[in-house]
Structure 1
């Protein structure tokens, strides 16, 4: 067995940015760093799950929205109930070519991080480190 440590904050930021930036979002480089710092103890696999969860948030907003507003291009974007420019309708009232999904946001990622917990516990990490110290090879 070989113990491979969990990714550090910079690696986690990189994983999130690499996987998450392929979808339209409004995150800055500083946001990706913040997310990397917020995911201490997460594995690479955990990071993928966080990204997938965050990417679904805008879709869920479309599904649950009760009010939509027109975009400059004529599409319809979910909005808040108090938006004076919004129109009362739901997803099924909108022609599919007019629906505009919101960009993935920092809030979406933070919500995903709060929902998705690390899959590797501290005891497992200590056990692997101890095994490596006892039986592992020197480099």
Structure 2
């Protein structure tokens, strides 16, 4: 039998739990995956029209964002075209053709609202725990 678990507080696991959980993997924040998250979520909505340079720019601005933070950012940015379309049309009358693609400006606006949820101090704590108790060193 196998058991899988996840925690944001590995330092609170006692020695008995660590002994029973023989594989302890630290999953760092996404780096190159942030671009994949942006593309994947926007393509689902059919709102993707960003250039590689624009995605690279967004990725630089989102250093330190978790996967969940990126999902929230993309959701907020994708609301930009909807908010704009609703100025001229009732939401019940909106068609997909009324929506423009998400732009870099939508992401810049969303970055004012969606902030990273993990602090640099927390990352240091996770990395330190991984160095001491993790199954794989970084």
* TM, length-normalised to structure 2: 0.69
Whether the 8 Å contact between 2:64 and 2:116 is mirrored in structure 1 is yes
Q: Return 33-42 or 94-103, whichever deviates more.
A: 94-103
> Partner of 1:112 in structure 2?
110
Instruction: Give 4+ residue runs of structure 1 displaced > 4 Å after superposition.
Output: 94-99
> Partner of 1:127 in structure 2?
125
Tell me, in whole angstroms, the C-alpha distance in 2 between the residues paired with 1:137 and 1:105. 41
Tell me, in whole angstroms, the C-alpha distance in 2 between the residues paired with 1:56 and 1:30. 22
What residue ranges of structure 1 are gaps of 5+ in the alignment?
66-89
> Partner of 1:27 in structure 2?
50
Structure with greater proportional strand content: 1
Pick 1 or 2: higher relative contact order, CA cutoff 8 A, min separation 6: 2
CA RMSD of aligned residues (A): 2.3
Residue 42 of structure 1: how far off its partner (Å): 0.3
* TM, length-normalised to structure 1: 0.69
Structure with greater proportional helix content: 2
Match of 2:84 among 58, 61, 67: 61
Structure 2 vs 1, CA of residues 14 and 95 (structure 1 numbering), >3 Å: closer, same or farther? closer
What residue ranges of structure 2 are gaps of 5+ in the alignment?
1-9, 11-24
Alpha-carbon displacement from aligned partner over 1:67-118 (angstroms, at most 9, x marks no partner): xxxxxxxxxxxxxxxxxxxxxxx424x9556971222111111211221001
